[in-house]
Structure 1
Amino acid sequence: MPNSAVLFAVHPGRLEAEVQIPLIELQPAFGHAVADSAARVLPRYGPALRQYLAQHMRLQSPDGRYWAVQVGELAIEHQTNELTGPYDELLAQVHLTPPPGADVRRFVLRYDAVLHQVVTHKILVAVRQDWAAGQVVAESPRQVGVIEMDIVNSQIHPLAVNLADGSAWTGFRTMVELGTQHIAEGTDHLLFLLVLLLPAPLLVAGRRWGPFGGTRYSLRRLLLIVTAFTLGHSLTLLLGALGWVRLPSQPVEVLIA
């Protein structure tokens, strides 16, 4: 059977988590027939699911203080497992706020949704985004541990999470490297920029291209075009990489073409 996952995104002063739970595993633990009709799950059980998740997720700072846990948006997605085939999965966005003065990068995760009833279940815990550690692409989660039942002692042990120290400089450097790689691999970007630069040294008069405008004029125009292209592209890349703006890929590709 597919496992659950908790994917963290680390932000200054808070964590965002995406909780992924297969409905077929959630059903015996939640006590309702959520796997029988995925389309009816959220309208019928949305508030109860939020309450269930909030009851089974607790974060604790090293000094013993507990974090604030708020379960936000819920969604159902269709997934496919190579071994067991297709299945429906609950996605829950959870907002986690540490107590005042607590380190957002060090905590103990106490999470036992599904596992408190289905002892063979496993929960994979990973970090999908951490700017300060240079992890800006959400598609490559970094696993930090697994929560599972200790069959011998019949206990579910909490997971101590201690993320490596990070800095704003590390995140900035990673973004520069990512941008450089993106441009180097994007022939279409380079060709587009070349088309913008070719007429830059020419004067414009009456909506017509004129003669060469001189060295100073040309350099100023080239600098303006390159700077505008770089800033605009860097901004869109940053918004997309951090997940702040999400747009469907097909319409965007059509508009670009």
Structure 2
Amino acid sequence: MIRLMVWVFALWLVAAAALAHKASDSYLSLETTAAGITGRWDIALRDLDEAVGLDGDDDGTITWGELRRRAAAIQSYALARLKLESGNRPCPLEPGKIRVDHHSDGTYAVLGFAAHCAAGPERLTVEYRLLFDLDPQHRGLLRLTADGTTQTAVFAPMAARQVFEPASTPWRGFVQYVAEGVWHIWTGYDHILFLLSLLLPAVLVREAGAWRPAPRFRDALWDAVRIVTAFTLAHSLTLSLAALGYLALPSRWVEAAIAASVVAAALNNIFPLLHGRRTRLAFLFGWVHGLGFASVLLDLGLPPAVRLVGLAGFNLGVEAGQLVLVAGFLPLAYGLSRSPWYPPAVLRWGSAAIALLAGVWLVERGFDLKLLSFPS
């Protein structure tokens, strides 16, 4: 059973290796007026490069000239994957100019467009299918403004078509942001590996320089509760401060620091200098992880009241997803810790694999390199 777990964990690490960076998102803003709808669509250049090819000379850099030459292809590709309807009648889309803008995770193409709705944009249906065929984890984040009221929504492959009513309140998007928070933690491999590194030794005790199984499950559970609580308090604080605009750091620094936190937590299992202080490690590095969580809400540019609703839902989703992961992992680890193979095979070699992978992420993020690549 231990060997099977090691193999499964190794395969999971290989899959995680391809996802060293922030998940793919685009930001769609719609504003309705009596005359129709004006739109702004921010799509990451890296995503457009994969979809339509922007880097003509394959030098790893997309210039303004390359973007301008592919402007028609970008507009055709994107607008073919967005449909607006009002009163069950389509609203034809008219492309506008393409600009560039910088978000927390890189450079984005900004597509301007207009939609003409014969019935008037009162009850609006939005169908969003950008990049879902290339990246099922892609998300489209919508900000819809009508009559001074802002609504939000998250588009995913299973929620590609959504209907918006004028009377909807900002709380309409609350449930979606809860789900987005769960999805974000479950696909945030660096966050998962950090927690996993801290929890791997929770089912053990260290005496006289050696590991042995924790005598009771409640001892392991209490250790895990302290670690998860410290991590939650820290990242909830910085998530809130960053999402509300009180704290900001460059995304590259934040992502590199998150990778460094995973390296530190994993190496501490191999060289347990701070074994009794893992709760402090969880709290210290939790501050950095909260800044990573905040990027989803920051780049959408929501009004303060709507941002608070999104923040509450997103944070609740992160915590729920985190608790599900811990609840599934801890009993399994406790059962496996009864075997003499757990400390050398799972704890030591598992932590070494985590540290190696996170070390690659650290170099990639710190120096803006791509060391790991996998065929699609």
Residue 54 of structure 1 aligns with which residue? 79
1:164 aligns with 2:186: no
2 CA distance for matches of 1:110 and 1:47? 21
2 CA distance for matches of 1:119 and 1:143? 24
CA offset digits 1:118-143 (Å, max 9, x no partner): 1111001112x43x3x35xxxxxx34
Residue 179 of structure 1 aligns with which residue? none
Instruction: Flag the 1:145–1:115 CA change in 2: closer, same or farther, 3 A.
Output: same
Residue 45 of structure 2 aligns with which residue? 23
CA shift for structure 1 position 49: 1.3
Paired residue secondary structure (2:167): coil
- The answer to whether the 8 Å contact 1:25/1:118 transfers is no
CA offset digits 1:220-241 (Å, max 9, x no partner): xxxxxxxxxxxxxxxxxxxxxx
- The answer to whether the 8 Å contact 2:98/2:111 transfers is yes
1 CA distance for matches of 2:132 and 2:139? 7
Paired residue secondary structure (1:163): coil
Instruction: Flag the 1:78–1:157 CA change in 2: closer, same or farther, 3 A.
Output: closer
CA shift for structure 1 position 14: 0.3
Question: Of 132, 138, 147, which aligns to 2:155?
Answer: 147
2:162 partner letter: L
2 CA distance for matches of 1:159 and 1:30? 26
- The answer to whether the 8 Å contact 1:75/1:90 transfers is yes
Matches within 5 A, 1:71-220: 71-81=95-105, 87-99=106-118, 102-127=119-144, 129-130=145-146, 132=147, 134-135=148-149, 142-150=150-158, 157-164=160-167
Residue 13 of structure 2 aligns with which residue? none
Paired residue secondary structure (2:70): helix
- The answer to whether the 8 Å contact 1:5/1:20 transfers is yes
- How many pairs are equivalent? 144
2 CA distance for matches of 1:48 and 1:116? 17
CA shift for structure 1 position 7: 0.5
CA shift for structure 1 position 88: 0.7
**Structure with the higher strand share, 1 or 2:** 1
Which structure has the larger Rg over C-alpha atoms? 1
1 CA distance for matches of 2:165 and 2:133? 24
2 CA distance for matches of 1:113 and 1:33? 20
2 CA distance for matches of 1:38 and 1:124? 26
Instruction: Flag the 1:143–1:107 CA change in 2: closer, same or farther, 3 A.
Output: closer
2 CA distance for matches of 1:80 and 1:38? 19
1 CA distance for matches of 2:63 and 2:162? 31
Residue 39 of structure 1 aligns with which residue? 64
Paired residue secondary structure (1:149): coil
**TM-score (normalised: structure 1):** 0.50
Question: Any stretches of 5+ residues in structure 1 without a counterpart?
Answer: 82-86, 136-141, 151-155, 166-257
- The answer to whether the 8 Å contact 1:29/1:116 transfers is no
Percent identity over paired residues: 17
2:127 partner letter: R
Q: Runs of 4+ in structure 1 displaced over 4 angstroms?
A: none
CA offset digits 1:36-63 (Å, max 9, x no partner): 3132333210111121122111112333
Compare relative contact order (CA 8 Å, sep 6+) and give the higher one, 1 or 2: 2
Question: Any stretches of 5+ residues in structure 2 without a counterpart?
Answer: 1-21, 169-376
